[in-house]
């Protein structure tokens, strides 16, 4: 009996120990499982935190990129207005405002920032393109405020005066980029800045725009052979009207017109007056590159001392340093 009681007691102790051991194992397992869950949760939190940080960094980078792109957006360059018209006073508060606030070109950032001509494929020299949004139907009522011209070489309507070789008042050598005309003597001092020369030929029976490189072959009393450098400018007449030229505001449209013009040559000759003609002009040299449109609003006189043109100029805007302003140094290379 005693043996039986002893065996029962021993069995009970073993069972108790086994249960305690099982409880310990279960506790360890639960602790391990809890630790795993904690670690998983921590990992999820860390992943979420890292993703949020990454998104924040990406957003910050996008902001920087946007700001950078905004800085590279430039206005179409109108040198006559930019350089030779004084600012007007705002009637409301007396502050100065720009003489000409052209719309910003947002569709040709690449062309504006690297001086490379870009094209969207739209040919503004072809019939049927006049109904685009760039040229509203009410162009006849369009009268922009340019400001005050700096001297008699520039007119209130935004045009400038350019004579031929016999004109007694206005020079016949044109610097497109700075919208300046010079006489032959003055031009000889800065020949690298002269892009076109206006000539009356055959006593006023014909007229030419010529690059300095081509001018010696035309002669008409004009000699540029002694110039230390002569730009090899190319010119071609476009199909743009004056109204279309006036409403053209973007670099893309300007470059399209230049690229799509046909019949480029070192000079342009016509036996008729040049009123209403719009020309595409380009200079592509090792040391200089620019693309422009030149519109002749009115021609006065013939071959005498009073013969001259009223013209406007629009140049592809270039902003290499990204400050939002035209960079004149970007058109020339040293």
pLDDT digit string, tens, across residues 160-181 = 999 999 998 999 999 999 999 9
Question: What is the predicted pLDDT for the residue at 93?
Answer: 46
Q: Does the residue 147 lie in any domain?
A: yes
Question: What is the predicted pLDDT for the residue at 55?
Answer: 55
pLDDT digit string, tens, across residues 30-70 = 655 666 666 676 666 666 666 555 555 555 555 444 334 43
Q: Does the residue 52 lie in any domain?
A: no
pTM score over 0.95: no
- Tally the domains of the chain: 1
Question: In sequence order, what are the beta bridge partners of 292?
Answer: 281, 315
Instruction: Please tell me the distance from the alpha carbon of residue 6 to that of residue 229, in angstroms, as a whole number.
Output: 125
Q: Residues 6 or more apart from 181 whose CB is under 8 A from it?
A: 153, 160, 161, 162, 163, 170, 171, 172, 173, 174, 175
Q: Does the residue 3 lie in any domain?
A: no
Instruction: Please tell me the distance from the alpha carbon of residue 55 to that of residue 224, in angstroms, as a whole number.
Output: 63
Q: Does the residue 269 lie in any domain?
A: yes
**Residue 112 structural domain:** 79-331
Q: Does the residue 108 lie in any domain?
A: yes
Instruction: Please tell me the distance from the alpha carbon of residue 154 to that of residue 165, in angstroms, as a whole number.
Output: 19
Question: What is the predicted pLDDT for the residue at 215?
Answer: 80
Q: How many residues does the chain have?
A: 334
Tokens of 14: 């073993």
Q: Low-confidence residues of the chain, pLDDT below 50?
A: 63-73, 93-116, 118-141
Q: Does the residue 56 lie in any domain?
A: no
Q: Does the residue 43 lie in any domain?
A: no
Q: Does the residue 13 lie in any domain?
A: no
């Amino acid at each position: 009996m005693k043996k039986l009681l002893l065996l029962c007691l021993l069995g009970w102790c073993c069972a108790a120990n086994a249960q305690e051991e099982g409880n310990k194992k279960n506790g360890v397992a639960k602790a391990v499982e809890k630790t795993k869950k904690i670690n998983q949760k921590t990992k999820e939190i860390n992943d979420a935190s890292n993703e949020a940080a990454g998104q924040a960094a990406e957003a910050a980078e996008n902001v920087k990129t946007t700001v950078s792109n905004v800085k590279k957006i430039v206005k179409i360059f109108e040198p006559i207005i930019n350089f030779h018209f004084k600012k007007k006073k705002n009637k409301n508060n007396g502050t100065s405002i720009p003489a000409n606030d052209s719309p910003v070109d947002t569709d040709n950032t690449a062309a504006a920032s690297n001086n490379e001509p870009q094209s969207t494929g739209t040919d503004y020299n072809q019939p049927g393109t006049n109904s685009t949004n760039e040229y509203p139907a009410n162009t006849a009522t369009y009268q922009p405020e340019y400001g005050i011209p700096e001297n008699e070489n520039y007119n209130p309507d935004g045009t400038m005066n350019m004579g031929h070789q016999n004109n007694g008042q206005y020079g016949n050598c044109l610097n497109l980029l700075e919208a300046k005309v010079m006489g032959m003597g003055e031009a000889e001092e800065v020949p690298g800045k002269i892009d076109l020369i206006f000539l009356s030929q055959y006593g006023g029976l014909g007229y030419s725009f010529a690059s300095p490189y081509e001018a010696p072959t035309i002669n008409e009393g004009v000699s540029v052979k002694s110039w230390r450098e002569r730009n090899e400018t190319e010119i071609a007449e476009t199909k743009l009207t004056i109204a279309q030229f006036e409403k053209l505001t973007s670099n893309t449209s300007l470059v399209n017109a230049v690229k799509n013009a046909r019949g480029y040559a070192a000079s342009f000759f016509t036996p008729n007056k040049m009123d209403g003609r719009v020309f595409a002009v380009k200079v592509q040299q090792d040391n200089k590159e620019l693309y422009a449109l030149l519109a002749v609003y009115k021609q006065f006189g013939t071959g005498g001392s009073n013969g001259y043109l009223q013209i406007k100029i629009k140049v592809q805007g270039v902003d290499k340093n990204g400050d939002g302003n035209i960079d004149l140094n970007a058109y020339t290379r040293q």
